[in-house]
Amino acid sequence: MLTSATLCALFPLLSLAHADVVARFEDVPECMRYFYQGKVPEWGAATPGVVRLCQRFVNRYHFATLYDTNQRIAVYSAYRFQPSNGGGREKQWFVEPQLVNLTWQAEMKAAYWLSKDHPGVYLGERQALNEDYTNSGFDRGHLNPNGHHAVPSRNATFTLTNVVPQNHKLNQNAWRIYESHLTNLFQASCSHSYVLVGAVPSEDNWIVKNNVKRVNIPDYLWNAYCCVDNNGRPVQSGAATARNTEVNLVEELSLDGLGKFLQQFTNQPMGELFHNNCKA
């Protein structure tokens, strides 16, 4: 018979079994479907303060995020492209309850309503809040774009753990055009498309609120994709980077080229972003 002490010790482990904050993506089969051939990138894994989020909305997962709780921006989001089925933009921004308290609900929730559930509790210690972006001069730039999904996954992209402070001109012009280019490519050439979109944080450039450094303003955005046929065989891959400034330019690269680009920002081995670098 399990004693009450043993049950108390086991409860945190049991409560995390279906949580959106997980110790390893590999422990959640439903979350692993966003990584081609089950390959989780090594990139960013050693970053201090990172957590792994299986992004839950309407009681199911929609994408995965490696999130830096110190910089309060994502290292990357991993998703599978879906043709859009229409639907508008969310009118509210979600936060992750378990980044406040692991015993709270697993599903993302609008900060207003989460505050109502837990009055007096500050929600922004380990994640960005909507007010951080207000009057900041930066867009809430989606990493995993809402336009690459059907409802309800489209709605799930409106969590603040999926956005970074993005230069308005870049977000509304070159980066948006590149996302549209990928939409056309994926629909024309791929049966399934696996995508990673990330940010390279700046050394010391922040959205500051009340003299507190709240959200890191990344120097670069990057994208990588792996397209496969109905048999799971790679048919096309590619990547891109963009400086997060009004230069408003997206540079397209190979996966190898992106790997070399990202390697300059870490002392850790870069590793592959996709299984076998998305090669047949």
Helix (H, G, I), strand (E, B) or coil at 13: helix
Choose among 278, 236, 246: nearest CA to 35.
Answer: 278
Q: 245 Cβ partners below 8 Å, 6+ apart? A: 167, 170
In terms of phi and psi (left: phi > 0; alpha: psi -120 to 50; beta: otherwise), the region of 177 is alpha
Segment 32-72, tens digit of pLDDT: 999 999 999 999 999 999 999 999 999 999 999 999 999 99
The CA distance from 65 to 78, in Å, is: 6
Q: 154 Cβ partners below 8 Å, 6+ apart? A: 84, 87, 146, 147
Segment 180-203, tens digit of pLDDT: 999 999 999 999 999 999 999 999
Q: What is the mean pLDDT of the chain?
A: 93
The CA distance from 92 to 71, in Å, is: 22
Write down the CATH number for the domain with range 18-278.
Answer: 3.40.570.10
Helix (H, G, I), strand (E, B) or coil at 53: strand
The CA distance from 224 to 257, in Å, is: 11
Q: For 71, which DSSP code?
A: T
Percent of the chain topping pLDDT 70? 93
pLDDT of residue 8: 40
User: By the 8 A CB rule, do 234 and 184 touch?
Assistant: no
Q: Where are the domains of the chain?
A: 18-278
Residue 61 has which token pair?
């997962």
Decide: pTM greater than 0.95.
no
Band of residue 13 on the pLDDT scale cut at 50, 70, 90 = very low
Band of residue 86 on the pLDDT scale cut at 50, 70, 90 = confident
pLDDT of residue 147: 95
User: By the 8 A CB rule, do 197 and 269 touch?
Assistant: no
Res. 9: pLDDT tops 60: no
The CA distance from 277 to 202, in Å, is: 27
More confident: 263 or 2: 263
Mean pLDDT value of segment 142-148: 97
